[in-house]
Structure 1
């Protein structure tokens, strides 16, 4: 105990930058379990073709510096894993049996027709897990995105069923290796996936995403005073894309709660192992409500059990040719409002957040309206108009900030064309990229 206390005292707060991989940690769709002074992070580690390579586990005392421990489950662990997909592994400890039990979503590697849950067991948290097989819960329920929740000696499994239309809560058997009963299907035909269940005070929170493939969407949550319900309907949390992420897990640190999300690389055409992580502090305006705000970095104090977010940096973006800055005309907050240039002032309609969407692309978000710099109607033509619009997943709202001649170009992902000053030296348009100073920008 003295050694543990001394180790905790040595821990200092750390800064975690969003949209990174923690130095190559492949624990996508994963979950965390704390054993002793270490947090163990389990997750997906995929092959180049996105099939199963391993469930990998890493450990950390501060949640920033992660040490690779083991590939606890691999393709050679069982014949049916040789060409499979294994997703969203979660681990709990069974004190009665002395076993660590892992649940995961299992598919055949070529499609999502199996929709099975799978189980593996180990004597140690980061040792080799013995594969115990896959099945549909109670023989008939489809099982896809999955999570676990443990309360005392009782454990629950939550998974998407019925082609992801339903979200089921199951009570596990005493050894945690099978499903004992259905607690309920409280959201029939709601089409929710990526569940993360946690409890704060006397309230249970079920955080989920919608079903939109690799593309991010609006997260929503429901609450209940009992895991057996009744549960509320869904309430939106975060922005329309959950800051370009999907829930994976919610980790409690003291009285703080940390959202752990995946920014899936499939959204920009990359392999799963290029996916990035988004971690954010969860706030609670009341005992039965939660909010999720954006922070480019967070500060985690594992010893104190606190998570805090950083302020968003805003920029003015100045054209080299005119010396004027990008401005939402008349400070409008409406969709389709014109974006032009204007003499610099202190207006928030001239202030922009350059927020990563992954894969080297950015949303350029206006501080006044919260809306995104957008090429109107997703046009790929020269001369297409520039507006602001509610942020979404469209490539016409994704930009790269490319160094050019000591300045930068803003290049639209969907067209490959550059943000440029129009002939009137006020309006903005997209044009084929070139060397003209009307296409060069700086930010401050």
Structure 2
């Protein structure tokens, strides 16, 4: 009898242990490379452009735009992750077949919020007619589950009169829901209070920057202070972003203050995500580097994620970093410290340059007059064996040897064709390919702009000698 009881007890304990551990494992810190096109756990591109994130249980759910080749609406996609790097595709939660109104629509900047009173997940988005931007309407869809199929509720102009374009949502600590959208041809930014079920507009709360010509709003609260982060209205092209603060959503709000550099590191605001862990709450800027700004489409867009820092309770700053390390367990978010160098050819005094500031894989490296451009700056990222990857500042792609041609390609830790040794001789360096043992070389010792940079047998020529500039 005792033996049977012991066996039964052991089985019960084993079953209990299995149930406890059946959920997602504790997420380990992960490093995300900036300015790249993310892939999901199946290796497919993550299409969550213009999106937002909501945390449900142990998972972060990321919603965003997945468009057709002509940039018209195809899906709102949903992904989930415990660590903010490894994203599992979950569902096309809203599709062009979901309602007759969606068949010819353009849907932008979907944001999802959870209503604790109704138990519903509510999606707000910007809706156009698929041809131009004349409709300027807000739209709503709802679902019983976070990544289930969302049911279209229709589109409208807030309070029956206001244009509504770029959009975000926010649930305050008291459970009140808010929607922010660009109005009056993007010249105003309206803050609306939502109805109790979050599916309608109850009132216009504030119009703080009348005539400011702002779009791409992101709203969050830190320590009792509301922050509104926005971009200027320059279409797909990035610009100087700004922020303002208030202690009440109704205001008064401060004037807008610049943040980041003049193009916000080639990106536009999508969302600000609080990462709350066991020891800290960090705030992560999620931005889009729109494919349309470099000759592609929305689905060619890249992601720029940067830690936000707060010098005081009402000030905010953001700096470039090529990589962000995120620890969702503790809430810590930090950037990688990186020094960028130019490579100046001794014989010509010209810089190694990614042609035409291209963001595309396969773009050639050529020499050009040194001009301080980010397409002439490289992070010598250490890898194993004393070698380096040369990651370009403007595109976050890596310099790669292809036969003798040198191009920028998606970085791969295992590709020896992207690994280079640096040997110092006097005041100059030779940059040598690990794969071939050949030297980085200006073809034919040319002194002309646009001369190709290749790899060639190391021979001591001045066209193989480089200065690492700052």
TM-score by length of 2: 0.73
1:387 aligns with 2:371: yes
The Cα of 1:359 is off from its aligned counterpart by 3.1
Match of 1:256 among 277, 282, 295: 282
In the alignment, which residue of structure 1 is the partner of 2:360?
359
> What is the distance in 2 between the residues matched to 1:405 and 1:37?
47
> What is the distance in 1 between the residues matched to 2:125 and 2:367?
39
> What is the distance in 2 between the residues matched to 1:22 and 1:402?
20
In the alignment, which residue of structure 2 is the partner of 1:289?
315
Match of 1:16 among 29, 32, 55: 32
1:203 aligns with 2:225: yes
In the alignment, which residue of structure 1 is the partner of 2:157?
136
Q: Structure 1 pair 158/361, CA: closer, same or farther in 2 (3 Å)? A: farther
The Cα of 1:78 is off from its aligned counterpart by 0.7
> What is the distance in 1 between the residues matched to 2:337 and 2:239?
23
The Cα of 1:176 is off from its aligned counterpart by 0.6
The Cα of 1:49 is off from its aligned counterpart by 0.9
The Cα of 1:84 is off from its aligned counterpart by 1.1
> What is the distance in 1 between the residues matched to 2:467 and 2:404?
12
The Cα of 1:202 is off from its aligned counterpart by 1.4
Do the aligned residues in 2 keep the contact of 1:265 with 1:359 (CA within 8 Å)?
no
Do the aligned residues in 1 keep the contact of 2:206 with 2:249 (CA within 8 Å)?
no
In the alignment, which residue of structure 1 is the partner of 2:292?
266
In the alignment, which residue of structure 2 is the partner of 1:194?
216
Do the aligned residues in 2 keep the contact of 1:52 with 1:86 (CA within 8 Å)?
yes
Do the aligned residues in 2 keep the contact of 1:407 with 1:441 (CA within 8 Å)?
no
> What is the distance in 2 between the residues matched to 1:44 and 1:441?
47
The Cα of 1:313 is off from its aligned counterpart by 3.6
Partner SS state of residue 387, structure 1: coil
Partner SS state of residue 138, structure 1: helix
In the alignment, which residue of structure 1 is the partner of 2:175?
153
Q: Residues 16-35 of structure 1: CA distance to partner in whole angstroms, max 9, x if unpaired?
A: 11122321110000001111
> What is the distance in 2 between the residues matched to 1:253 and 1:16?
15
> What is the distance in 2 between the residues matched to 1:282 and 1:144?
26
TM-score by length of 1: 0.77
> What is the distance in 2 between the residues matched to 1:247 and 1:142?
20
> What is the distance in 2 between the residues matched to 1:244 and 1:95?
37
Do the aligned residues in 1 keep the contact of 2:275 with 2:283 (CA within 8 Å)?
yes
Partner SS state of residue 189, structure 2: strand
Q: Residues 176-217 of structure 1: CA distance to partner in whole angstroms, max 9, x if unpaired?
A: 111010001101111110000011101111001111111111
- The total of aligned residue pairs comes to 384
Match of 2:256 among 203, 217, 234: 234
Structure 2 counterparts to residues 55-70 of structure 1, below 5 A: 55-70=76-91
Q: Structure 1 pair 121/438, CA: closer, same or farther in 2 (3 Å)? A: farther
Match of 1:166 among 188, 196, 199: 188
Do the aligned residues in 1 keep the contact of 2:359 with 2:394 (CA within 8 Å)?
no
What is the RMSD computed on CA atoms of the aligned residues?
3.6
> What is the distance in 2 between the residues matched to 1:125 and 1:409?
42
Q: Structure 1 pair 97/443, CA: closer, same or farther in 2 (3 Å)? A: farther
In the alignment, which residue of structure 2 is the partner of 1:105?
126
Q: Structure 1 pair 165/442, CA: closer, same or farther in 2 (3 Å)? A: same
Q: Structure 1 pair 4/160, CA: closer, same or farther in 2 (3 Å)? A: farther
Match of 1:125 among 146, 152, 155: 146
Runs of 5+ in structure 2 lacking a partner? 1-15, 40-44, 376-392, 409-440
Q: Structure 1 pair 387/300, CA: closer, same or farther in 2 (3 Å)? A: closer
The Cα of 1:353 is off from its aligned counterpart by 12
Do the aligned residues in 2 keep the contact of 1:196 with 1:250 (CA within 8 Å)?
yes
> What is the distance in 2 between the residues matched to 1:273 and 1:89?
15
1:306 aligns with 2:332: yes
The Cα of 1:271 is off from its aligned counterpart by 1.3
- Which has the larger Rg? 2
